[in-house]
């Protein structure tokens, strides 16, 4: 019995569009990460890029549950002493709503070169418009 490994010529990349309006952030991010990784395909292989492209629209209308809107923090560090910056969810939603979904999805991808390659296939837009009409994206049915 031989193990099947899909080659580059056997892979087909599909573009999906996801409307984030009214969806819960974590549930939406986990489904997007699975599609980026290719776990929804029968020929999934953990060491290959089998995933599809995902376009997220209406990122500014994503929801969180509980008190996360006031208490959730996004942290980054400049690398200098005392360089820790903290921003709350509400402030991040006002300034950079696309980074919220990007951060959630990035945390669910592998922390290696493959994860960085997969993350480049995610396109997030705050509004309802996106410049990828030429790729003829298909609407992704999400459970969230």
What pLDDT does residue 25 have?
96
Over residues 31-85, the pLDDT tens digits come to 999 999 999 998 888 999 999 999 999 999 999 999 999 999 999 999 999 999 9
> Right CATH number for 14-63+96-139 from 3.10.20.30, 3.90.1180.10, 3.30.200.20, 3.40.50.300?
3.90.1180.10
Q: How far apart are the C-alpha atoms of 56 and 19, rounded to whole Å?
A: 6
Choice between 44 and 118, residue whose per-residue pLDDT is larger: 118
Buried b (16+ CB within 10 A) or exposed e, 41-78: beeeeeebbbbbbbbbbbbbbbebeeeeeeebeeeeee
Model confidence, pTM: 0.92
**Domain range list for the chain:** 14-63+96-139
- pLDDT of 144 above 70: no
Over residues 87-115, the pLDDT tens digits come to 999 999 999 999 999 999 999 999 999 99
Supply the DSSP symbol for 29.
H
């Amino acid at each position: 019995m031989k193990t099947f490994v899909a080659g580059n010529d056997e892979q087909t990349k599909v573009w999906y569009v996801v409307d984030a309006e009214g969806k819960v952030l974590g549930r939406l991010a986990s489904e997007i990460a699975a599609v980026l990784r290719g776990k929804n395909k029968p020929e999934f292989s953990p060491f290959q890029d089998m995933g599809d492209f995902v376009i997220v629209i209406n990122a500014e209308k994503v929801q969180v549950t509980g008190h996360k809107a006031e208490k959730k923090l996004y942290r980054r560090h400049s690398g200098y002493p005392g360089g820790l910056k903290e921003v709350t969810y509400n402030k991040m939603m006002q300034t950079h709503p696309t980074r919220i979904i990007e951060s959630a999805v990035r945390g669910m991808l592998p922390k290696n070169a493959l994860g960085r390659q997969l993350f480049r296939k995610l396109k997030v837009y705050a509004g309802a418009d996106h410049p990828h009409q030429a790729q003829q994206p298909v609407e992704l049915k999400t459970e969230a």
